[in-house]
């Protein structure tokens, strides 16, 4: 059976353009329409009917809702986007990226205009204002993230609480008894973004269970902020021998900032990051990390949405377990006292 993707390749356009020509939902130039229709005739493509029970032609377009708000680290979220795009193409579907920070109106406009078959929703807050509308819409959605109340929703996420705890468990098993935590920018915590709060909660709870002294700070993305935060931690907690970093933008300069504060990695202080493996491996020294599985999350999200579009009932929550990879930044300790204390 000929697919929209094959028609699009034949006509030299995107799959979404073929859908727009078929549905008339968007203005397309006469030349492009002519090419698409000629490809449809040449290939013998037969448009199929959407299975939502409304008799509406399926657009084969997914709305990817990604508001670019304060504290959003674009290189990180683009990993999710890339994975979603790659997976969607396997299903002959295209993505419409929705980056406007107007939340509910943007969702309503996209749903009412029938431009998309469903939504993937990122930057999910614990008490997200978009959730009531998502539950009411006639088209399905999947959240990449987990709100506090997920009833009636489909979500996929890393178990960030377990990720924060796993960092502490690893360091405590190595004998560390004073651990710092550098988290996301303050704006991310103020809007109660789920992944940031859950990781910090998991970190704090595990530190309490293991009898470890723990201090957590949010940190902005610029170098000066990272430097100030590390200096604050070192001055306030001179016996601190380990640091967990859950902020990709801060990782690039974390070793230099600790060195400026009088701590060398890994001799004086061990570092664990929550980030993609490839980023941790590029650091000097390579950082022990709990892997952020952006590719798996993006893939799972599309697969869950396609299942809903096909009339199936996927699990309401797919929670990926954290995986820690040990590297040079957490060696077997010889002496846990940092340089300033040993002297």
- pLDDT, position 235: 94
pLDDT the model gives residue 85: 94
Residue 89 belongs to a domain: no
Closest CA to 48 of 27, 24, 22: 22
For residues 118 and 308, the answer to whether their CB atoms sit within 8 Å is: yes
Read off the tokens for 286: 């390579």
Q: What number of CA atoms fall less than 13 Å from residue 255's CA on the CB side?
A: 14
- CATH number at 19 reads 1.10.260.40
**What is the per-residue pLDDT for 50?**
38
CB 32 within 8 A of CB 87: no
The answer as to whether 335 is a domain residue is: yes
- Choose among 144, 102, 150: nearest CA to 123: 144
Question: How deeply is 18 buried, as exposed, middle or buried, from its count of CB atoms within 10 A (0-12, 13-18, 19+)?
Answer: buried
| pTM of the predicted protein model | 0.81
Half-sphere exposure of 325 (CA within 13 A, CB side): 15
Q: Count how many domains the chain has.
A: 2
Map residue 96 onto helix, strand or coil: strand
Q: Domain range holding 247?
A: 160-293+324-342
Question: Which residues of the chain register pLDDT less than 70?
Answer: 1-4, 23-26, 46-57, 100-103, 113, 334-343
pLDDT value, residue 2:
63
For residue 169, tell me if it sits in a domain.
yes
- The pLDDT of residue 53 is 39
Same domain flag for 42 and 166: no
């Amino acid at each position: 059976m000929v697919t929209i993707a094959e028609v699009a390749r034949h006509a030299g356009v995107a799959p979404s353009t073929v859908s727009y020509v078929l549905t008339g939902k968007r203005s397309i130039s006469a030349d492009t329409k002519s090419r698409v229709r000629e490809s449809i005739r040449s290939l013998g493509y037969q448009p199929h009917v959407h299975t939502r029970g409304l008799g509406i032609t399926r657009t084969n377009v997914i709305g990817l809702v990604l508001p670019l708000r304060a504290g959003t680290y674009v290189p990180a979220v683009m990993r999710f986007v890339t994975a979603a795009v790659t997976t969607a193409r396997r299903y002959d579907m295209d993505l419409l990226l929705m980056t406007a920070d107007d939340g509910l109106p943007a969702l309503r406009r996209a749903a009412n205009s029938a431009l998309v078959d469903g939504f993937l929703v990122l930057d999910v807050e614990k008490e997200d204002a978009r959730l009531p509308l998502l539950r009411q819409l006639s088209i399905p959605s999947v959240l990449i993230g987990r709100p506090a109340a997920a009833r009636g929703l489909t979500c996929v996420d890393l178990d960030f609480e377990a990720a924060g705890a796993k960092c502490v468990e690893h360091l405590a098993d190595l004998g560390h008894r004073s651990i710092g935590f550098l988290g996301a920018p303050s704006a991310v915590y103020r809007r109660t973004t789920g992944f940031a709060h859950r990781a910090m909660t998991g970190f704090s709870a595990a530190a309490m269970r293991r009898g470890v002294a723990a201090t957590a700070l949010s940190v902005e993305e610029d170098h000066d902020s990272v430097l100030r935060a590390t200096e604050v931690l070192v001055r306030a907690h001179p016996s601190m021998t380990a640091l967990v970093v859950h902020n990709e933008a801060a990782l690039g300069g974390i070793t230099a900032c600790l060195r400026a504060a009088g701590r060398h990695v890994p001799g004086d202080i061990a570092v664990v990051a929550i980030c993609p493996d490839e980023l941790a491996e590029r650091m000097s020294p390579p950082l022990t990390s709990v892997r952020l599985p952006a590719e798996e999350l993006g893939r799972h999200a599309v697969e869950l949405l396609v299942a809903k579009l096909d009339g199936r009932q996927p699990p309401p929550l797919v929670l990926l377990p954290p995986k820690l990879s040990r590297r040079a930044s957490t060696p077997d300790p010889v002496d846990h006292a940092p340089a300033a204390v040993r002297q």
